[in-house]
């Protein structure tokens, strides 16, 4: 038996009508017809998605790259710093 989703995305009928009136697009109208109607007027529920917690490696790389000023540098410059951070991670990697 399939699990029932905890949250169903919905858009209230009045907001759907507002969108239809302002954007006369058949593709958009088709998409709106598939989305469930919310019970309350003016309600939109997109069901936020929980993110996984970042790994120790991801946190380390984020911190390491944050030490380098990449703003205004040419495209592709970050690769050099990423390699340096990766090598530094391999040296300091916590043993699990």
Q: What pLDDT shows up at residue 17?
A: 92
Q: Pick from 68, 64, 57: which is nearest to 93 by CA?
A: 57
Instruction: Extract the residue ranges of the chain whose pLDDT is less than 50.
Output: none
2 within a domain of the structure (yes/no): no
- Do 40 and 14 contact (CB within 8 A), yes or no? no
* Residues near 5 by beta carbon (within 8 Å), at least 6 away in sequence: 47
Q: What confidence score (pLDDT) does residue 12 get? A: 94
Please name every residue paired with 36 in a beta bridge, in sequence order, or none if there are none.
10
Statement to judge: residues 60 and 88 lie in one domain: yes
**Structural domain that includes position 40:** 10-45
41 and 66 in a single domain? The answer is: no
* 16 in a structural domain: yes
Kindly state whether residue 63 falls inside one of the protein's structural domains. yes
Q: What are phi and psi of 82, to 5 degrees?
A: -65, -40
- What's the pLDDT at 2? 60
Residue 67 falls inside a structural domain = yes
Examine residue 3 and state whether it is found in any structural domain, yes or no.
Answer: no
pLDDT of residue 70: 75
């Amino acid at each position: 038996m399939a699990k029932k989703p905890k949250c169903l995305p919905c858009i209230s009928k009045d907001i759907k009508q507002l969108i239809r009136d302002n954007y006369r697009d058949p593709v958009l109208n088709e998409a709106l017809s598939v989305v469930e109607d919310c019970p309350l007027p003016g309600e939109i529920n997109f069901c936020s998605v929980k993110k996984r917690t970042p790994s120790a490696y991801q946190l380390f790389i984020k911190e390491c790259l944050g030490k380098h000023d990449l703003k205004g540098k040419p495209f592709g410059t970050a690769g050099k710093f990423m390699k340096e951070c990766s090598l530094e991670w391999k040296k300091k990697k916590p043993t699990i």
